[in-house]
Amino acid sequence: MSERKQATNVEARTWKPAAKSRDREQNTRRGDARGGGKTRGARGGRNKRSDMGRAEWSRTSIDKRARHEENRQAAKRLRLNGQEPILPIYATQFSKEEIEREPRNPKKKVAVMMGYSGSGYKGMQLNHNERTIEGDLFKALVAAGAISKANADDPKKSALIRCARTDKGVHAAGNIVSMKLIVEDPHIVSKINENLSPQIRVFGIERTNGSFSAYQYCDSRIYEYLIPTHCFLPPHPSSYLGKKLVDLAEEANDLRGYEERQEDVSSYWVETEEKYIRPVLERVESSIQSLAHRAIHDVNVKEAEKKLLETTGLKNELGEDKTSKTGAGSVRDLDSIPNTDAIDQETPNVDLLKVTASDVHEPITMDDAEFQKSNSLSANGDQDPEAQESTTDRMPHCTTKGLHSEQVSALDTAIKQLRSAYISAKKTYRIHPRRLERVRSTLSRYVGTQNYHNYTVEKSFKDASAKRVIKSFVVASDPIIIGDTEWLSLKVHGQSFMMHQIRKMVTMAALVVRCGCHEGRVQDSYMADKLSIPKAPGLGLLLERPVFDTYNERLAGQFDREPVDFKKYEKEVEEFKQREIYERIFREEERDNTFYSFFAAIDNLKSSQLLYLSSMGLAATKDNNTPHTSKLIGTNDAVLIESDEDEDRTMVDNDVDT
C-alpha cells in the first residue's frame, strides 16, 4: 500500500469520530431550532421518551424559569391584542383595584394535613381543564383568605408541593401539601372546609421550617387496599384460565400439588352450581340452557377487549379482525358456525355439577353485521328495538342463529339472571384460614429491596429506578363483613412507589393464590423476563398516610415546630375515612361489581399472557404450541392502559393513572 494511501486511511480513522460528533451536534441544533427532532437529549423532541429512555429523560434538566417567562410573555401578547389569557379552572381572577385594596398579610410555610375521597376527581394533581383535588383545595384556600387575591391565579406563587399524587378515583385518608399560606386567623381551617365539598377535608395546618417540602422530606408512605375475599377464589372450571390451569398442571405432572394448594376451595364451584345456578337454569327453556351457561364463561371479544384495555393492560389474543379469515387471531368462518339445534343435539343433558375442561365447547362467535341480521326478524317479522339493543350489547359472542326473537329475549334474561346468581354466590364466600394464611405468605414475598420492573410501565430490568424498598405488606388480623360481602384490608409500607405498582402487586398476589401456583412465582417476577401483570381496580386503593420521621426527629424540635403527622387528628381522620372512603368503596362495589367484572374478564380472556401462573411457570407463556400465543406485552403496556396519574410523584410526570 502506498504511503499516500496509508496516510489517507489514518486520517480517515482519526477524524471519523470527530465527524460523527460534529454531525450529532448539528442534528441537535437542527432539532432545537425546529422545536422537535429525534436526537437523544433534544428537549421538545417528538419521540423524546423512546429516543433517550424514561430514566434519562426524567433526569433531563428543565429550565423552569425560561418556561415560566415564555408563558408570561404569551399571556402578555394576548392582553396586548385585546384578548384575555385562558385561566385554569382552579384560578380566580381579581381586578387590579381589588388586589390593591386587600391588606398585605405575611405568609408562613405550612403543612396542610388533609384527606379526600377521589371518586369523581381526575386525580390529586392540578390540571388546567379537569376537576382535581388540588384544584378544589386551591380555590377553597383563596375563598377562605389563606391565599391573597394577588396570588389567586397561580399556585406556584404559594410554593404548592404535594407529598404524593394519587390516581383518578383513588382516595387518601391522609395526605399533605406544603405551601405558603396566610394563617393568622384562628378559624382558618373551618373557613377552608366551608368552601370544600364533603369529599375533601383539611384536618389541620402545621407550621414548618422555611425549607420544608412535603415531597422531599417524606421518608415513606403507607397505602391500604380493600379487596373482597371472593377475589381469591379459583377461576370457574369452565373459564379459559380455569381449564388451562388444570391442563398445564397435568402436563407438568403437578396435578396433585395443584389440587392440594386448592384443597380448601375444592368443593366451592360444585356447591355453587347446585345451590345458586341450577335453580336459575331450571326456570330457563331447555333449548337455551347450555347456551346461557356457556355465555357466562365465553366473554365476547368486544366486551373483553374493552374491559381489559381499560382496566388490566392485557391484550386479547383473539385479535381485532372480525372477518371470516381462519387461523390464530381471527374468527372462524361464519359458515362453519353450527346452528343451535346442532349444539343441543351434541349436549342434550349437560350436568353442570360435573362440568370439566373437556366438556366445554369452543366459543362460537359472529361478527356484528351477521348478529344484527340474525336478530332483525322474528317469526312474525319484527323485533322489539329495546330487546335488540340489549341483546346486541351483551351477547355478540354467543350465536343466536336459529332462535326466534322470544328465545333471544329469554336468553338475554337468562344470562342476566345467571350473572346475578354468580355474583350473589361470591358475596357469600368466607375465606378459609388456610387461604388467608396463603395470602399473608404471598404478600410477605414483597418485603425487602426488589426489582419491580414488571409492576409498572416502560421500565426495563436494568433500570436502577425499578428497585424499590418495601418495609411491610400485611393483612388485617380479621376480615370485615359489609352487607353480604367479606373484605380484607391489605396495608403496604414502602419507601416510594412507581406508577401502578401497588395495584399490580395486589393483582399478582391475588392471582398467585387463586390460580394455585407456587408462591415463588412472585420471585420470578423480579427476574429479567417480561410478564404481563394486570392492575387491580383503583376503587380499593387509598393512601393511609405519609411518614416524616426524619423531619420530626431532627428538625421539628430544632425549629420549635410541631411534628408533621396525623396522630393528633386520629379521631377526625378515622371518622372521615369511614364516612367518605370506606362506605363509598363498599357502595360503589355493591352497585357496579367492579371486582367481580375485573377477575371475570381475566379468567375468560383467551390469552397465553397469564399462563405463567400455571404449574408450567414461565415456559407456558413461551410455548409456540399454545393456542393464540403471541408476543407478551412489554413497553406497549403504556398504550393499552387507561390514562391516569401515577400513585406517587417519585415516578416521572405524566400527562394526567393510577
Residues with a catalytic annotation lie at 167
| Spatial distance between the Cα atoms of 1 and 8, rounded to a whole number of angstroms | 11
Strand 171-181 with 108-116, pairing: antiparallel
Cell digits for 71?
408563558
Q: Is 116 annotated as contributing to ligand binding?
A: no
Give the DSSP per-residue string, 322-350: -SS--STTSPPPGGGS--HHHHHHHSSS-
Strands (E), 37-181: 108-116, 161-162, 171-181
Asked whether the CA dihedral 134, 639, 296, 231 is positive or negative, the reply is negative
Task: Please name which of 307, 376, 383 lies closest in space to residue 598, comparing C-alpha atoms.
Answer: 307
What distances in angstroms separate CA 470 from CA 159, 173, 219, 466, one per listed residue? 30, 20, 12, 12
Say which DSSP state 537 is in: P
State the maximum Cα–Cα separation within the chain, in Å, rounded to a whole number: 99
| Spatial distance between the Cα atoms of 125 and 134, rounded to a whole number of angstroms | 6
Q: Which position has the grid cell 353485521?
A: 369
Helix (H) or strand (E) holding 203: strand 200-207
What distances in angstroms separate CA 6 from CA 3, 17, 19, one per listed residue? 5, 18, 19
Do the beta carbons of residue 475 and residue 489 sit within 8 Å?
yes
What residues contact 239, with CB distance under 8 A and at least 6 apart? Answer: 297, 600, 603, 604
Secondary structure class of 475 (helix, strand, coil): strand
Q: Can you say whether residue 185 is alpha, beta or left, with left for phi > 0 and alpha for psi between -120 and 50 degrees?
A: beta
**What are the φ/ψ torsions at residue 375 (nearest 5 degrees)?**
-100, -5
| Spatial distance between the Cα atoms of 656 and 123, rounded to a whole number of angstroms | 8
Binding residues: 223
Binding residues for substrate: 223
